[in-house]
Amino acid sequence: MISFERGNIRAAELFGDFWFNSEPITLRDIRGKVALLEFWDYSNAECLRTQPYLKEWCSRYNEFDLVVIGVHTPQFKFGRNPENVETALRRLEIDYPVVMDNNAIIWTAYSNRMWPTRFLVDKDGFLRFSHQGEGGYDQFERALQSLLVEVGYHGLLPDLLPPIRLTDTPGTVCFRPTGEVQLGYLRGTLGNSEGYSPESTLLYDDEGFHLDGRMYLKGKWYNEREGMRFDGEIGEEGHATLTYEAVEVNSVMGVDEHKAGIVFALQDRKPLTKANAGTDIRFDGDGQSYVLVDSPRLFNIICDAEFGQHALSLKTDSPGLEIYSMSFVTGVIPELLPTN
C-alpha cells in the first residue's frame, strides 16, 4: 500500500461516460467525506475477488461518511457497452455508484497501471492511500478508519473485516500460479507455430507439445485484436488447450451477435466433476461438462481442492465463440500457514 503526504496531491475529478446507481458525482460535491475509488473491470478475476470487501466496507461505513465509487475502465471492447456493464452490476449485486471510463480518462488522470487499484481520498479532496491488486485488505481498512477519524468521528469503529478467503490472511505464503494468458494479436500468448495473422482466419493444428502458460488452438480461428474467434462452419469444431498450475481457472469469453455458445471443458482429458467444476460449469445428460456462454464476461471453469498442474481443454462447435483470456488463482502452501 502507498501512502501520500496529506494535502500534497489533489484527487482528479471523475469525468466519465455514464453513471450507474447514482446521478453524476464530483469529488467537490462530497467534500467533507471520505471517498473510496475502485478502478475495476467486471470481466477481471482479481477485481471480482475484491468485490466482497468493497460491498462490506460500503455497508458498514456508510453511516460514517464513506462514499464508495467504482470506476469501470474496460479491458476489452465489450466492456464499453453500458448494457453489458449494467447487466454485470445486477448479476454481481453492486449498488454503489459506478462511473464508466471507456476512454481511460480517469484512469490516466490517476496514473493507473493495473486492475484493480483502489484509492482513498480524504475529506479535503486529497489522495492519501492507494493499493494495487488483491490483498492488503486489513491495512487498507485501517487507513480508511484513520481518515474517518480525521473527518471528526471519535466513537467506536467496527472491528476490521476478517479475511474472506484463506489466501487473504496476512502472513500466508502462496504458490506461484500460471500468469494470465491473453489472446488476440495485439497482446496474446499463442503457442501454435502458425502464430497470428491479424484480421484473418487461420486453420490451426495442435501438434501436441505444450509449454506451460501458452494457448494452443486447433481448427479455424479468426484473429482479432483482443481475442480469437471460432470461425468454423456448422459441424466443425474448434479446440483450445493449455497446461497450467493453479487452484482455479477462469476464462473471459463472449459470443458473436448475441448468440449463445456452448464450450465443453475437460481437465487432463476428462470431463469435470462436481468436485472440480467451477461455478459456471453445467452438465448434460451424458455427464459432459460445459459452459453456456450467453454474454461476454468472466466464466469460472475449474475449482480444484488443491494447487496442482493440469491440462485444460476447451472445445466448441459454436461459430462466433470468442476467447479473450485465461486467468489462474493461487492457493496457500499448507506447510507455511501462519500459526499465530
Q: What is the CATH number of the domain that holds 238?
A: 2.60.120.260
Residue 72: phi, psi to the nearest 5? -90, 100
**d(Cα 149, Cα 151) in Å, to the nearest integer?**
5
Domain end call among 132, 167, 202 = 167
SS3 3: strand
**d(Cα 34, Cα 153) in Å, to the nearest integer?**
12
- Residue 308's alpha-carbon distances to 163, 214, 248, 283, 305, in angstroms, are 23, 17, 10, 24, 9
What kind and span of H or E run contains 58?
helix 45-61
Residue type, 96: Y
CB 281 within 8 A of CB 265: yes
CB 213 within 8 A of CB 242: yes
Mean pLDDT by runs of 10 across the 340 residues of the chain is: 91 95 95 97 97 96 94 97 96 97 97 96 97 95 96 88 93 94 91 95 94 95 96 94 97 87 97 97 96 96 96 96 97 80
Residue 258 confidence (pLDDT)? 66
**d(Cα 111, Cα 226) in Å, to the nearest integer?**
23
154 and 6 inside one domain: yes
Q: What is the CATH number of the domain that holds 141?
A: 3.40.30.10
Residue type, 285: G
**d(Cα 211, Cα 225) in Å, to the nearest integer?**
23
Residue 340 confidence (pLDDT)? 60
Burial (CB < 10 A; 0-12, 13-18, 19+), residue 235, is exposed
What is the domain range of residue 90?
A: 2-167
- Give me the number of domains the chain comprises: 2
> Cell 459454436 identifies what position?
318
Residue 65 confidence (pLDDT)? 87
210 and 296 inside one domain: yes
134 and 17 inside one domain: yes
Rounded to a whole number of angstroms, the distance between the first and last alpha carbons of the chain is: 23
> Largest alpha-carbon pair distance within the chain?
68
Residue 187 confidence (pLDDT)? 86
